[in-house]
Structure 1
Amino acid sequence: MRFALVGQSGRDSDNPLGNTSRLVNIYAEKMTTGERALKSVLGMDPHVQLNGVLIRAMGVVDGVTYAILGGRLWRIRENGSASPLGQVTTGHASLSGNNGAVCIQAGTRYFVYDSGMSEPATGAFSAFGSVEYIDNYTVLTEAGGRMFQWSDLADPKTLPGLNFSTADANDDKLVRAFALDGRLYLFKEHSTEIWYNTGASGAEAFQRVAGGVKGTGLKAHNLICRFDDGAFMVGSDNRASLIAGGQFQPISTPAVETAIRESLPVACLVYSDEGHTFLCIVLRDAPAWCYDLAMGEWHERAEGEAGPWNVAASARLGDEWAIGRDSGEIAVLRRTNSDGGRPLIRELTTPTLRMDGARTVLREFEVFPSSGFRNGSISLRLSRDGGATWTPDKTRILTRGEFDDRAIWRNLGMGRALTAKLRWSDPYDLCLSENARIAT
C-alpha cells in the first residue's frame, strides 16, 4: 500500500511515542502534480568571520547590512568582507535606521552611527530597552519601565525632554517597541499596546489606538522578527503567533509549545527560499522549530546529530539571507546541502503505522527519489515499538542512472506496528516524494 511518509514535525517531548512524526532539516513543497516533495533546508555557507563573539542583532539600513557583535557595530558586505564601525556597549541590542543613520540600543544605552559613532544626549529617561523607527521618528523604550520617547522628526540624535508618553494600560514593564502596519506596537511583559502617529508634533505625536490593548506580551526581547506582511513572536503565553492588522494569530502546535516551555527560546528569525518564508524559534538546547508560512507547517532545523541550530539573528544580504552565529561567523543560507563543510543531516520519522493488531511480515519498503539526484546514499531504520528502539541502519546507494527509479528495502521482519526513519547526509540535493510504499 502507499502512504504519506510524514506531514509536519509533531513529536512532543512530553509524549515522544504519542506522535513520532519529525522533519529535521527537511520541509514539504507542493508539486505541479498535486503531490508533495520533501526538500532539504538551505545549508550554511561561511561568509565572513568577525573578530569577537555573541551576535546581538542584525539589520539592514538603506540597503546596507549591519551586525552588532559583542560591543561593536560591523558593516557586512556581499563580497565576503566586513568592517568594524564603532564601539557600543555589550548586552541585548536592537538596531534600526532613520534617513540613513544607524540607530542602536545596546545594553541600556543609545548610539547613532552616520559618519561616525555618537551617543546623543538623553531626553525623558536615560536607560534604554529598545529602538525602533516609524514615520521618520526614532522611538526608544525605557529599560525596566513603562515610558517611551521619540526623537525630533528625521533627527535621531535629538531627544526632546517632552517627547514621551507612558504605556500604562496595564501595570507591567516594556520589553520592546516594534513598528507594524504603520502603527507602533509596545510589547510589554504580559500585554501589548498599539499606538499610532497622530500627525501632530512634539509631545502629541503618538496616541494609543482605541481598544488597542492586547492581553499577551512578548516573552523576551529577541523573540520577535519581521517578515513582509507582519511579524512573528513568542508571547508571554508561551505560544508562537503571527501579528498583522492588529490581530494576534496563534500558530503553535502542542509540540512547539512544549519546546518553548521546556527548552530556552533565545531568538526568533526569518529567512526565505523559493517562495517559502520560514519563521524560526531558536532554542538554546534543542533544534529550532521553523514555521513554513507557505505551507502552514512546522519542521525542525538542527546542526550535527540533531543538535541546536547555533544562530542568533538573520538579515538580508543583497538577494540572499545572512545569519549571525555566536562564534562571530556570518554565514549565507544557500542550497549547498552542507553546513559550512560539515554534514547537513536530513532525517524524517514517519507516524507509527498499526498493522490491525496482528504480527505482519514487512516484505518491502520503497521511497521515490525525484530526478536530479546524483551519487549518494539513504539509510533506513525501523522501530516496531512506536519509536522506543530501532534496528541498525540499512543503507541503499543511489547512483546516476537510478533517477526516477526506486530505493527499496526488502525482508524487514515482522511486527504489529511500524515506524520508519530515513536519513541522508551526502552533500547532494535529494528530494523525496512524500508518498512511499510498503508491501506485506
Structure 2
Amino acid sequence: MGYRACQLVPATGGALVLKAKPALQYSEGRSKPWSGSKLVNCFAERADGDKREDFALMAAPGLLEWADVGTGPVRGAHVMAGTLYVVSGTSLYSVSSAGAETLIGTIAGSGLVHMADNGAQLCIAAAGVGYILSAGSLTTLADHGISWSVSDVGFIDSYILWTRAGTGQFFISGLGDATSYDPSDIATAEGSPDNIVGMIIDHREVQFFGSETVEIFYNSGAAAFPFERQGNAFIERGCFDRDSIVKIDNSVNFMGDDRVVYRLTGYQPIRISTHAIEYQLRNVSYARGFAYDQEGHKFYCLDTDNGTFVFDQATGLWHERKSVDLTGWRVNGAVKAYNMVLLTSGQDGKIYRPSLDLNTEDGERIEVDIYLPTIEGQRQRLTMYAFEVMCETGVGNSSIDDPQIMLRYSDDGGRRWSNEAWRSMGVIGDYRRRAIWRKLGQFRQRQIHLRVTDPARTFVMSYYADIR
C-alpha cells in the first residue's frame, strides 16, 4: 500500500505509522488541492552535520523596540560615517547608538526614500526632490543649480549619481562634492528606449534598471564624462518596481517586469521565485524589497499589497510574514548600525532589533501557521488513529505557563476545515510532553493545519501519522 506525502516507517500491531512530508516553503498557488502547503511566520533551517532531521521549522524572529523616531512611518534609514540617519514622516533625524534622535530638517513626500553618501555628505531622493546634508546644513539640488526632478541616488568612486525622473538620463556631482554640479555632466542609458526605473551600485558598476532592460555602466576615467556603458553587458529584462531592487549576499535581487523575482548572477537574471509566489504577485501594485541577515539566514523580504513574502538565500525557500491585523509584515526596511541589525516600521516611527529568542512582535502575538502537504492513499478510504507533532516541548515561560499548539484538518482540499483541537507544548521543564491528537476519523485525502499563537518558543522537527 502506498501513501503520498508520507514515508512508511516500522510499526507494530498492524498500524501503518507514517512520517508525514514536512512543509518547507510557501507552495499554495492557484489550486489548493494540488499544493496547499505554506509557512506563515516560520521558516525552514537546513541541518548542518549530525541532526535529528534534515530540516526543522522555527518561528520568525520577535521584534524588540530599540528606538521610536518621529511620527513615522519610517521611510528610509542609512549609515554615514558611523552615524544612523532616519527619515520618519516628513523629517530627517540623526539617531545615536543609544537610540536618541536629533531633528535635522524636513523631507517632502510620504513614500520610501533612497539614500547614499560620499563619507561626508548625505544625499536623499524623495518625492522627486534631491536633498543634500552637508556640514550640518540640509539643502536641495535646486539650491545648487539643478532643477530636474530625481528618482534615485547612488555613490561610486567619489561621485554622487542621480537618475532624472521619467527619463533614461542620469547625472553626476563633482568629484568628492555632492553640492557641485555641471548641467552638462549628464548621460543617457540608451541601449533601449525605456526609462530608468531605478539603479544600484554593485561591484563598482552602476546597474540602471529600466522598465524593459538593465544596462551596466562603469567608470572609464574619460575626461569629458567618466561613465560609459560596459561593452555588451545588456540585460533584456526590465524591473517592475524600483523598490524591489536590493543588494544581498554579493548579488542583486529584483522583481522583473514579468512579475518574476530574479537574482542577478553576473549579467544573467536567474529566477528565484516559484509559481506559487508568482501567483501571489500576479496583481500587486507595488513591490518593496529589503534584506537582512540573521544567524546565517539571508532574508530578501518583498512587501506587497497582497502580503509580505520572504526568500531565504540560505535554503532557497520562501515563506510569508504577517503581523496581527495587517495584510503583511509591519517591517518595511533594514539597516546595519552600531553593530546591530535594525528593522524599521512601516506603521510608525519605531525601529526594532529582531531576535529568534523573543516570541512577540513589539508586544503583539506572532501567529505561526504551518499548512502541511496533502496526505493521500491510492484512492482508498483511510482512518487516522493519531497524529503527532515532534516539536520542542517544555517551552512554558514567564509569559505563558502552558503554551498550546492547534491542529485542524481539511478533507476537501483546504476548502472546509474541522474544529480546532489544542494540545499542550509543555509547562516549564516538561520536556517529555507529547503533542498528539487521536481518533481523527476517516479520509481519502487530508491536509493538516497547525497553529501556535502563544508567546513561546516554536521549533518543529517532524510529524507522524498512525493510519490504518
When normalised by structure 1's length, the TM-score is: 0.94
Deviation for aligned residue 1:435: 4.3
Q: Residues 83 and 324 from structure 1, CA distance in 2 versus in 1: closer, same or farther, beyond 3 angstroms?
A: farther
CA distance in 1: counterparts of 2:403 and 2:153, whole angstroms: 48
Q: Is the 8 A contact 1:289 1:301 kept in 2?
A: yes
2:336 pairs, out of 292, 316, 327, with: 316
Partner of 2:289: 268
Partner of 1:233: 254
Deviations 1:44-76 (A, max 9, x none): 222333333343322222232222223221223
Q: Is the 8 A contact 2:407 2:420 kept in 1?
A: yes
Partner of 2:159: 137
Q: Is the 8 A contact 1:338 1:344 kept in 2?
A: yes
Q: Is the 8 A contact 2:251 2:265 kept in 1?
A: yes
Partner of 1:204: 225
Partner of 1:179: 201
Partner of 2:348: 327
Q: Residues 163 and 124 from structure 1, CA distance in 2 versus in 1: closer, same or farther, beyond 3 angstroms?
A: farther
Whether 1:29 aligns to 2:45 is yes
- Most deviating of 180-189 and 53-62: 53-62
What secondary structure, in the 3-state scheme, does the structure 2 residue paired with 1:264 have?
coil
Deviation for aligned residue 1:437: 3.7
Q: Which structure's CA Rg is the greater one?
A: 2
2:263 pairs, out of 242, 246, 261, with: 242
Deviation for aligned residue 1:296: 0.6
CA distance in 2: counterparts of 1:272 and 1:415, whole angstroms: 42
Deviation for aligned residue 1:287: 2.8
2:459 pairs, out of 417, 431, 436, with: 431
RMSD: 2.0
Whether 1:352 aligns to 2:371 is no
Deviations 1:79-118 (A, max 9, x none): 2332222112215421011123211111112111132212
Q: Is the 8 A contact 1:283 1:309 kept in 2?
A: no
Matched AA of 1:49: D
1:8-23 → structure 2 map (5 Å cutoff)? 8-12=25-29, 14-23=30-39
1:108-147 → structure 2 map (5 Å cutoff)? 108-114=128-134, 115-120=136-141, 121-122=143-144, 126-147=148-169
Whether 1:302 aligns to 2:322 is yes
Deviations 1:351-407 (A, max 9, x none): 111122122111010111136633411110111111111111111112234425531
Matched AA of 2:149: A
Partner of 2:404: 377
CA distance in 2: counterparts of 1:347 and 1:130, whole angstroms: 38
Whether 1:3 aligns to 2:3 is no
CA distance in 1: counterparts of 2:185 and 2:265, whole angstroms: 27
Q: Is the 8 A contact 1:270 1:314 kept in 2?
A: yes
Whether 1:80 aligns to 2:99 is yes
Partner of 2:72: 53
Q: Is the 8 A contact 2:214 2:238 kept in 1?
A: yes
CA distance in 1: counterparts of 2:22 and 2:97, whole angstroms: 39
CA distance in 1: counterparts of 2:435 and 2:92, whole angstroms: 50
Deviations 1:192-221 (A, max 9, x none): 1100111234x4210001112211122122
> Aligned residues: percent identity?
25
Deviations 1:212-245 (A, max 9, x none): 2211122122112222411221111211111242
CA distance in 2: counterparts of 1:305 and 1:56, whole angstroms: 21
Whether 1:421 aligns to 2:462 is no
Provide structure 1 residue ranges, at least 5 long, that are not aligned to the other structure.
Answer: none
Partner of 2:12: none
Runs of 4+ in structure 1 over 4 Å off: 121-125
Deviation for aligned residue 1:40: 0.8
Q: Is the 8 A contact 2:425 2:434 kept in 1?
A: no
Matched AA of 1:341: G
CA distance in 1: counterparts of 2:35 and 2:275, whole angstroms: 11
Q: Residues 228 and 30 from structure 1, CA distance in 2 versus in 1: closer, same or farther, beyond 3 angstroms?
A: closer
Matched AA of 2:420: D
Provide structure 2 residue ranges, at least 5 long, that are not aligned to the other structure.
Answer: 1-17, 397-401
When normalised by structure 2's length, the TM-score is: 0.88
Matched AA of 2:82: G
CA distance in 1: counterparts of 2:216 and 2:144, whole angstroms: 24
The number of aligned residues is 437
What secondary structure, in the 3-state scheme, does the structure 1 residue paired with 2:94 have?
strand
